[in-house]
């Protein structure tokens, strides 16, 4: 009986939702520059931010213009829907999750004006902070509130949270940068807000009836009514972003309504334009690391170090340092750390070089005075860049473990006056230990703001109970020490309920008055900061948890082994939503997002989609459904997420698993089977190479290939007339140690000259090169989801290579994706096979093998080569880096320039397929192809077969493999 009643209720609710969504489409379809999305998958993709919370919207509007914002707000108001603005969703307190209509303004990303002379700019809310700073850096300017998420954080989101960064002791918070805000209010009116003299504000409030005047009149009355309590309750701190900035209403000389909106988390107004203050960029910056035996000692030293007028003091504890040391991609960022300190302070000074020189001359003495055990100067740009990388990666690194208890963000940005920091840390540690757990401490010591994340398992009721106890105890501690429960990330769903404890009943009453002044109907992000009865109630910190008690997990027998990540579910849940994959430049992740700038093409979206299926938010059949296919479609399997995402979310393997599950459910297509077994096809073509090559150049062949799913604009691959294995016996050999060459498909059947060059170079370095029998590595099969076939090939290769494994002979690969499949993917195919780890330890990229030989004293006698433009292969960059290749190429005396090109866009068969050509070319045109065209005086070098094909198709240049380039430098 209960089951049937629940079914009826569910059907009624589903019908109501569909009716609501139908009315949304009726109101907005055909009118938006952006788009409206109400399908279940899109609602899931926008249901989370970087916090521990999940609120699924009824619909999503991706706005491209101010008019889109107006239309979305009008539709929400008409339908009685809440509306919540968000940028890139990097919020840590849940305020960017939406219970009604999610309004994504990250597409409103124009820098409208830069006024260098007056040090100001005008931006739309979706402008990325780092992009603004890159734009104004050449003019010697900077936007001062520099957050650790600068590569992805939008300025609109920073206004919403009143964000800051490591240099807030100099620049303050975002509120201190605002000159004016253009806002759309909940009733649809536009208000232009700016700071003004109190006399002017009072006059405008008396004499005008426009939106700004109405707000001024109400705000002045609130300020007057609560003047004494505001003065008494609001702590004098740089980093106080909890509640609304009521102190801006009681200043003697000015009234600034922008300080109400800034930090209001989208609850008061929708900002569509911001005029911001810029600052002179310091001539020089320099860092020093001060190491300590305890957190308390580092906090005590902070007070003394502040007397030295630093521009930043950042704290890192042993947990953060250890997490970075254990992550291969981030290990180098800790190279300056000596020994095993309990805590360290990264202290930055800015200014004139001579002043910095004098300061650093006395660095050791300063370290002794503040009790540091080690002081390490960090003045080089590369050294300082590593510390920035370390700071930015701390949270995702901590979350990227498969431990049941993970550091949880809910009290992560409490702030106290710096002179109370030592007591705060000491007592915070006591709270954590009393509740039976541990925590990571790091953050902005210069302004008393720490990011503290206690480790908890929120899937267990006791874990959630401990979270509440810790939250309540920390809130009480902050109040006692005269601090703020939030110094940077806002109140959101984590801390709004503690505002009464922090400020008292009268101030919270004033907050409610401000909310009703701006948003009488309570449509803007309800449930955050203040109660708006009967529209919404204040959300509690332990509600709407993304992973909470009773969290479901769909049973799934996977083709790949994900035990290293704790299972497939854990691998998916490693994505914490921090949005690193939304960066638009630098590195490789995520090439599809860099090309399309669409949320659904991010690494985060793919993980979100999978999580939604696994936890039951979406039905099980969606795992192999059309929408999953769409979200996964533009993933090129580059593996950059495995290294560049600090949480090491391996979406490339997840896509392989999805393709496998889909193939099992619906069958594999002929195209997939053909692509997966490409070695077999090329072997057949090589039987009659001249005939095949002649036919491949014809329009008929292109049309036939088109029927098989190949885009007709692509040149079909050719085969060599004499395969590499037939050429190998005649190649020269060295007399030294043996290395084996993995004869990959492309070397054997298409570009044997690469193998010839490799053997000649390795022989010149003294190596005896053998050519063991092998089959395909399995990478093409994995790219198509043919896991069972890839497993058979992996097992066959292990058998064929057993003598090599037993002898400890290095196996050298020329195609990075092939040899790195053995190193990285075989463990997922053949778990428990001891030979897998042994073989992985023997695999070498060509450049790794060459450097080992030359380090042993057998350097080839290269002629000096022409300058090189190097494009690294994605898998090479993700798992090894381009450093070894750069050093190998430099053995010829060549100048090597490595282009920061990300993915070439071809990615095996991806760029050949119909429906992918445009995206493939967009990826290539982002940086790689223009760089090739502009480097006519350089030899283009690319180790990847598909990369060379993309360069040929897109730029008309023949790129060489590094083995070819170096082989050409040997005397004949």
- Long-range CB contacts (within 8 A, 24+) of 382-389: 383/287, 383/336, 384/285, 384/286, 384/287, 386/332, 386/333, 386/335, 386/336, 387/287, 387/289, 387/314, 387/333, 387/336, 387/346, 389/330, 389/333
555 neighbors 588 (Cβ within 8 angstroms): no
**Helix, strand or coil, per DSSP, at residue 141:** strand
In 623-726, DSSP assigns E strands to none
Question: What's residue 708's pLDDT?
Answer: 81
Q: If we measure between CA atoms, which residue out of 396, 416, 394, 398 comes closest to residue 407?
A: 398
Q: Would you give the DSSP letter of residue 251?
A: -
Helix (H) or strand (E) holding 111: strand 111-115
Q: How far apart are CA 905 and CA 240, in angstroms?
A: 45
167 neighbors 311 (Cβ within 8 angstroms): yes
Q: If we measure between CA atoms, which residue out of 574, 630, 582, 629 comes closest to residue 602?
A: 582
Q: How far apart are CA 589 and CA 579, in angstroms?
A: 11
258 neighbors 178 (Cβ within 8 angstroms): yes
- What number of H helices and E strands is found in the chain? 46, 27
Helix (H) or strand (E) holding 461: helix 461-480
Question: What's residue 644's pLDDT?
Answer: 85
Q: If we measure between CA atoms, which residue out of 579, 616, 660, 597 comes closest to residue 40?
A: 616
Helix (H) or strand (E) holding 940: strand 939-941
* Overall size of the chain counted in residues: 972
**Helix, strand or coil, per DSSP, at residue 5:** helix
| Residue 800 CA to its chain's centroid (Å) | 40
Token pair 């060295």 in the structure block, residue: 734
831 neighbors 755 (Cβ within 8 angstroms): no
Q: How far apart are CA 571 and CA 574, in angstroms?
A: 5
Q: What is the pTM of this model?
A: 0.91
On the 0-12 / 13-18 / 19+ scale of CB atoms within 10 A, 476 is middle
Q: If we measure between CA atoms, which residue out of 639, 635, 640, 647 comes closest to residue 598?
A: 635
Percentages (nearest 5) of helix, strand, coil residues in the chain? 50, 15, 40
829 neighbors 741 (Cβ within 8 angstroms): no
Q: How far apart are CA 629 and CA 626, in angstroms?
A: 5
Question: What's residue 146's pLDDT?
Answer: 83
Q: How far apart are CA 91 and CA 87, in angstroms?
A: 9
Q: How far apart are CA 823 and CA 821, in angstroms?
A: 5
What separation in angstroms does the CA of 475 have from each of 94, 443, 465?
Answer: 18, 18, 15
Longest alpha-carbon distance in the chain: 96
Residue pLDDT, tens place only, 230-286: 999 987 888 888 999 999 999 999 999 999 999 999 999 999 999 999 999 999 999
Give me 204's structure tokens: 């405008």
Q: How far apart are CA 529 and CA 525, in angstroms?
A: 9
Query: Average pLDDT of each block of 10 consecutive residues along the chain (972 residues)?
Result: 37 73 95 96 94 95 98 96 95 93 97 97 97 95 88 95 91 96 97 96 92 96 96 86 94 95 97 97 93 95 95 92 79 86 94 90 93 92 81 67 81 93 96 94 92 93 96 96 93 95 95 96 94 81 93 92 92 88 88 93 95 94 95 94 86 97 95 93 93 88 84 90 96 93 97 97 96 96 97 97 96 97 97 96 97 90 92 94 94 94 92 93 95 94 96 95 96 82
User: Phi first, then psi: what are they for 155, rounded to 5°?
Assistant: -70, -30
Q: How far apart are CA 146 and CA 166, in angstroms?
A: 7
């Amino acid at each position: 009986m209960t089951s049937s009643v629940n079914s009826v209720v569910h059907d009624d609710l589903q019908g109501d939702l569909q009716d609501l969504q139908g009315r949304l489409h009726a109101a907005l379809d055909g009118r938006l520059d952006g788009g409206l999305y109400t399908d279940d998958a899109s609602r899931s993709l926008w249901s989370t931010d970087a916090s521990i919370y999940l609120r699924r919207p009824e619909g999503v509007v991706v706005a491209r213009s101010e008019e889109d914002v107006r239309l979305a707000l009008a539709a929400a108001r008409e339908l009685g829907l809440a509306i919540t603005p968000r940028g890139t969703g990097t919020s840590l307190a849940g305020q960017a999750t939406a219970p009604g209509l999610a309004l994504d303004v990250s597409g409103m990303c124009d820098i409208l004006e830069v006024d260098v002379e007056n040090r100001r700019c005008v931006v739309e809310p979706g402008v990325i902070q780092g992009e603004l700073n890159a734009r104004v850096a050449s003019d010697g300017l900077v936007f001062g509130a520099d957050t650790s998420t600068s590569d992805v954080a939008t300025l609109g989101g920073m206004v919403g949270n009143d964000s800051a960064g490591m240099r807030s002791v100099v620049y303050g918070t975002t509120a201190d940068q605002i000159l004016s805000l253009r806002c759309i209010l909940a009733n649809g009116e536009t208000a232009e807000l700016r700071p003004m003299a109190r006399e002017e504000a009072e006059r405008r409030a008396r004499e005008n009836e426009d939106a700004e005047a109405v707000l001024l009149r109400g705000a002045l009355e609130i300020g007057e009514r609560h003047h004494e309590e505001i003065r008494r309750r609001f702590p004098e701190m740089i980093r106080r972003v909890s509640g609304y900035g009521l102190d801006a209403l009681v200043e003697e000389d000015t009234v600034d309504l922008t300080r109400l909106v800034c930090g209001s988390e989208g609850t008061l107004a929708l900002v569509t334009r911001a005029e911001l203050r810029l600052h002179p960029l310091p001539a020089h910056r320099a860092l020093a690391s001060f190491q300590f035996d305890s957190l308390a000692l580092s906090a005590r030293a902070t007070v003394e170090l502040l007397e030295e007028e630093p521009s930043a003091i950042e704290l890192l504890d042993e947990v953060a340092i250890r997490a970075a040391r254990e992550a291969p991609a981030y290990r180098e960022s800790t190279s300056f750390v000596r020994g095993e300190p309990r805590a360290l302070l990264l202290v930055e000074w800015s200014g004139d070089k001579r002043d910095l020189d004098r300061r650093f001359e006395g660095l050791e003495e300063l370290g002794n005075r503040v009790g540091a055990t080690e002081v390490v100067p960090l003045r080089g740009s590369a050294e300082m860049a590593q510390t920035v990388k370390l700071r930015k990666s701390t949270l995702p690194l901590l979350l990227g473990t498969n431990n049941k208890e993970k550091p949880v963000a809910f009290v992560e940005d409490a702030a106290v006056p710096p002179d109370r920091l030592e007591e705060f840390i000491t007592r915070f540690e006591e709270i954590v230990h009393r509740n039976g757990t541990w925590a990571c401490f790091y953050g902005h010591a210069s302004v008393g703001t720490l990011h503290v994340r206690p480790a908890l398992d929120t899937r267990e009721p006791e874990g959630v109970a401990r979270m509440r106890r810790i939250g309540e105890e920390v809130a009480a501690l902050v109040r006692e020490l005269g601090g703020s429960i939030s110094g940077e990330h806002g109140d959101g769903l984590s801390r709004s309920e503690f505002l009464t404890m922090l400020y008292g009943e009268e101030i919270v009453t004033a907050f409610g008055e401000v909310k009703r002044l701006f948003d009488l109907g309570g449509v803007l992000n309800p449930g955050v900061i203040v109660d708006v009865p009967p529209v919404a109630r204040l959300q509690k910190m332990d509600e709407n948890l993304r992973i909470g008690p009773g969290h479901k997990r769909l049973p799934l027998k996977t083709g790949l082994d994900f035990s290293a990540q704790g299972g497939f579910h854990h691998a998916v849940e490693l994505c914490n939503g921090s949005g690193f994959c939304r960066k638009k430049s630098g590195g490789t992740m995520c090439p599809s997002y860099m090309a399309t700038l669409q949320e659904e093409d991010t690494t985060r979206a793919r993980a979100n989609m999978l999580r939604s299926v696994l936890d039951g938010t979406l039905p099980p059949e969606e795992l192999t459904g059309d929408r999953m296919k769409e979200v996964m479609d533009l993933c090129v399997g580059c593996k950059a997420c495995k290294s560049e995402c600090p949480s090491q979310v391996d979406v490339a393997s997840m896509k392989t698993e999805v393709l496998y599950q889909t193939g099992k459910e619906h069958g594999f297509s002929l195209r997939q089977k053909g692509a997966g077994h490409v070695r077999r096809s090329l072997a057949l073509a090589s039987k009659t190479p001249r005939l095949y090559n002649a036919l491949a150049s014809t329009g008929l062949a292109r049309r036939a290939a088109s029927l098989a799913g190949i885009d007709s604009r692509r040149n079909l691959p050719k085969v060599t007339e004499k395969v590499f294995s037939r050429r190998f016996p005649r190649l020269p050999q060295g007399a030294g140690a043996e290395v084996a060459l993995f004869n990959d498909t492309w070397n054997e059947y298409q570009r044997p000259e690469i193998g010839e060059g490799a053997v000649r170079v390795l022989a010149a370095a003294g190596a005896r090169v053998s050519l063991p029998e092998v089959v395909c590595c399995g990478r093409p099969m994995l790219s198509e989801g043919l896991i069972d076939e890839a497993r058979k090939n992996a097992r066959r290769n292990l058998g064929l290579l057993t003598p090599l494994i037993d002898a400890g002979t290095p196996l050298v690969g020329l195609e990075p994706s092939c040899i790195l499949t053995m190193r990285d993917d075989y463990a997922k195919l053949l778990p428990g096979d001891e030979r897998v780890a042994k073989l992985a330890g023997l695999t070498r990229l060509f450049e790794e093998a060459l450097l080992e030989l030359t380090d042993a004293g057998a350097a080839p006698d290269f002629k000096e080569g022409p300058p090189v433009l190097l494009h690294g292969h994605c898998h090479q960059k993700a798992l090894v880096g381009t450093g070894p290749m750069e050093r190998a190429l430099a053995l010829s005396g060549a100048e090597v320039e490595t282009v920061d090109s990300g993915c070439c866009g071809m990615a095996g068969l991806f760029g050949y397929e119909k429906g992918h050509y445009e995206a493939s070319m967009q990826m290539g045109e982002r940086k790689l192809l223009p760089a090739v065209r502009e480097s006519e005086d350089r030899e283009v070098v690319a180790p990847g077969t598909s990369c060379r094909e993309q360069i040929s198709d897109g730029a008309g240049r023949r790129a060489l493999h590094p083995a070819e380039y170096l082989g050409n430098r040997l005397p004949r």
